[in-house]
Amino acid sequence: MRNPLADVPVPILDDLIDDDYVRSLVVGVVGTLGALGLLGVAFPDSIAGDLAGIVFSTGTAASTARLAAPIVLAGLGGIFAEKSGVINIGLEGLLIISAFASVYIASVIGSGNALLGVPAIWVGFLAGIVASTLLAGVFAVVCIEFKADQIIAGLAVWLIALGLAPFMSTVFFGGVNTPNLGASVGWRYSAAMVVVATAASWWTLNRTAFGKHLRASGENPKALDTVGVSVSRVRYAGVLISGVLSGVGGSALALSIGQFVGSGETMVQGKGFIAIVAYLFGNYNPLGTLGAGVLFAGLDATQIRLQQLGYAIPDTLVQTIPYVVVIVVLALVGRTRIPAAAGDHYETEE
Amino acid sequence: MSRRDGGRLPTPVRRLIEPFVDRTVAERVLISVAAIALSIAVGFAIVLVSGRIAECSAAAWTMPVTGLGFCYDPFEVYAVLFNGALGYPLAVGEPGVFNPSWTPFNLSFGLTLSETTLLIFTGLSVAVAFRAGLFNIGTQGQLVVGALATALTVLALAPLLPAGPVSGVALVVVGTLAGAVGGGLWGAIPGALKAYADANEVITTIMLNFVAANVAYVLVLEVFRAEGSSVVATRYVPEYAQFTPWLFPGSSDFALLALAVGTAFIGALYYLVEHTPFGYDLRTSGVQAAAAEYGGVDAKLTTVRAMTLSGALGGVGGAVWVLMSEGRWIASVPDLGFDGITVSILAGNNPLGVLPAAFLFGILKGGALEIGFRTNVPTELVGVLRGLIILFVAMPEFFRMAGRYAGLGSSGPGGPETTEDDSDGSGDDDGTTDGAVATAEGGETDA
């Protein structure tokens, strides 16, 4: 008897065309940066010179790392959920809830104190992860157990967090913005977490049995069921991992400033949606997601520095670039392909 | 189909109800009502828990038996929410007593109806796309674009016409059309991308929301900003070119005419979707795209048309927002498009259901203001309720399970699963029980 798992299409890195796509992405980014560097060295007094000065400065690197952490981490989480067959459009909500929970718990303990020897800020960090994972768990139950429409349930996760975080902030602190903790997590931690999470995700997805199950659950759940692996269990794992990773991202975002801002779209400001963009742009590849996330965050960081230097570029227009890029990529390149069974319920036949 | 043996509902009662209601519609209504009730219950718990954690000098409510004090009174919150949204038809503090000085034409009720009117348009926008199997999350962006088109058109044309009621009517009509065109074009983009480039409309519409908000913001900031304005906004359109509030106080930003237009739209769309050839194309390509193609429906064209119509409705919503509520385009556009998704889902994507669903959300919005005035509970509670309602409506299976447990279920435990949960966009609808094989093989659903 043939192993049904052999029929599972193995995407991305093993697939030559998709590999080309990711490679051209990397070459494009590196090439642009290289050209910018050369131009900057050749004409130090031009815009190119200023741009090169900004792009290759440590200040920009630091703010890029800070801005990229939530995007890349939530994006990695999105890969796990979607690979398993559950489209998690609620990443934004997971980021919001973890950003708030991390600051709240850290301020309850008191930023100078420690709990069981762990500094308050890191307890807060863990609390953010727990909050995000819990919300992802609710989402998983709703989608897998109660067969809810994944898109609608994902929107609900976003809307609940969008209401709940400012609500709780007002209950505890008397306003939608929390007071500043006076302590923060340095950008080097954010950068390290991003790199570790990306490497670990790549390894898990491509080199472990769990990664194989995850892919099968999204591409051909029937085959997975046939070899005796529970599809629901794999999907629960996928969604919960997206909760954990988004939690790390949300905590890193809030604690890198030491405050939760809950007005308007909250401090997350659509980073969860950019995360979806990042992993689609990176074609479900953790390395591609890292590249896309860093690219988007770098654009934003560069733009902030350009404003400070007095170039009157409307910042909103620069922030629009990622969204337009994704539409163009989806329309023209068309390389990103969602897992075949993503969005569908799977019912075990017993 | 009906299961008489296991049901715990008395047979005579069931025999009485059955002939009157279409089962799928009845189930929809039941699920929506149950979802609202459950959301209110969860909201109750949230108010209690946060009232226990919050700090206050005197307890607003003491739990019977236990004697625990809470900072927020959950009963008062809901009383203020629903009573306040209608302008206190029931006297405050004396439960069950009718307030003699109450008239329907009060400020609070006007605000509630104003919100209802706007949500009718955005709700219809989402519902139309849904019926064609398209998930239009982009109503918000279409509303932003339509509102800007309306404001700019009316501002450009107003100086050319003599001030007065006649040119006012002309401006309102032209402005609304401009909104429809602007929103329609913005909606046509994801439609065309979906039809001809196979780009997932969920992703593209989310992206286009951000693009619309940002581009409109920059346009107004750099080009069309009113002189001396402290916020990013256009000039006010002339007073005579706005919907005039009849009967209701002017500060409620509500015009009965706009509500009448919205209601007429509901009727027109119901007729369009259910009783015209276009509506047939729309529904068949929504239920089963491949079958529709076999039946001679141009699915690609239908997709573009449906998204254009949906966008145009969102644009009209934007036009009404400018011409009735705000009087100008202002950067802080309320989340009407996102609320439209909730309205449509709660309405079961049926145009006729949009009216009660929009009214419910109008009450939530209007009541939120009253909660802010009368209680110390944060008004963000209403945002939480919105999310909870959408979550619970999204899980009909939960209520079917609960119903089956109570013996009221519409299908037996082993029976065929009802497939009327049309909420799952373009995906293969047969994926509930035996469709896993089919979807796994032919699953190139989206880009």
The complex's ipTM works out to 0.80
- Say if B371 is an interface residue toward chain A (CB within 8 Å): no
Distance from CA of A270 to the nearest CA of B (A): 9
Give the type of residue at A145. E
Which positions 41-100 of B are in contact with A (Cβ < 8 Å)? Answer: 46, 50, 53-54
pLDDT in tens, A285-316: 888 888 888 888 887 777 777 777 766 667 77
Q: How many Cα atoms occupy the beta-carbon half-sphere of A287 within 13 Å? A: 13
**How much is the mean pLDDT over chain A?**
80
Burial (Cβ within 10 Å: 0-12, 13-18, ≥19) of residue A271: buried
The residue count of chain A comes to: 350
H/E stretch holding A314 reads none
The residues in B 111-150 lying below 8 A from A, measured between CB atoms, are: 135, 137
Domains and CATH numbers, chain A: 4-333 (1.10.3470)
Per-residue pLDDT, averaged over A63-84, amounts to 90
Q: What is the mean pLDDT of residues A65-71?
A: 88
Q: How many CB atoms lie within 10 A of CB B142?
A: 40
Contact residues, B window 274-333, toward A, CB-based 8 Å cutoff: none
A36 touches chain B (CB under 8 A): no
Please choose, from the candidates A150, A210, A147, the residue with its C-alpha nearest in 3D space to the C-alpha of residue A347: A147
Q: Note the pLDDT of residue A131.
A: 95
Query: What phi, psi does B62 have (nearest 5°)?
Result: -115, 130
Least Cα distance to A275 among A250, A241, A307, A238 occurs for A250
Tens digits of per-residue pLDDT, B348-373? 888 898 999 999 888 888 888 888 77
Q: How many beta carbons lie within 10 A of that of residue B160, not counting itself?
A: 8
Contact B203 A276 (CB under 8 A): yes
Q: What is the pTM of this model?
A: 0.80
Q: Which of B277, B140, B126 is nearest to B211 (CA)?
A: B140
Helix or strand or coil: residue B90? strand
Partners of B425 on chain A (C-beta within 8 Å) are 149, 151, 343
Q: In angstroms, rounded to a whole number, what is the distance separating the alpha carbons of residues B242 and B249? A: 15
Say yes or no for a CB contact (<8 Å) between B387 and A158.
yes
**CB nearest A346 (choices: B50, B380, B436):** B436
The Cα B225–Cα B234 span in angstroms is 5
Q: Which of B256, B129, B140, B144 is nearest to B191 (CA)?
A: B129
Fold of B107-374: ABC transporter involved in vitamin B12 uptake, BtuC (1.10.3470)
Q: Residue B290: which of B190, B424, B429, B420 has the closest Cα?
A: B429
Q: Distance (Å, rounded) from C-alpha A191 to C-alpha A337?
A: 29
Summarize pLDDT for B31-81 with one digit per residue, the tens.
Answer: 888 888 888 888 888 888 887 777 676 666 676 666 667 777 778 788 888
Spell out the residues 6+ positions from residue A26 whose beta carbon is closer than 8 angstroms to its own: A287, A291
DSSP B69: E
Q: Which residue of chain A comes nearest to B344, CA vs CA?
A: A152
Q: Provide the pLDDT for residue B10.
A: 57
Pick the residue of B71, B391, B429 with the most A CBs within 10 A to test the interface with A by mutation.
B391
Q: How far is CA B159 from CA B127, B162, B171, B179, in A?
A: 37, 7, 11, 19
Taking the CA atoms of residue B195, residue B197, residue B198 and residue B204 in that order, the dihedral angle to the nearest 10 degrees is: -90
Contacts of A255 (CB under 8 A, 6+ apart): A102, A103, A106, A121, A124, A125, A128, A181, A184, A185
Q: Does B102 touch chain A (CB under 8 A)?
A: no
Locate CATH 1.10.3470 in chain B. 107-374
Q: How does pLDDT run across A173-229, given as a tens digit for each residue?
A: 888 888 887 777 778 888 888 999 999 999 998 888 898 898 888 888 888 888 888
Structure-token pair, residue B183: 């929103």
A316 contact residues in B (CB cutoff 8 A): 214, 217-218, 221
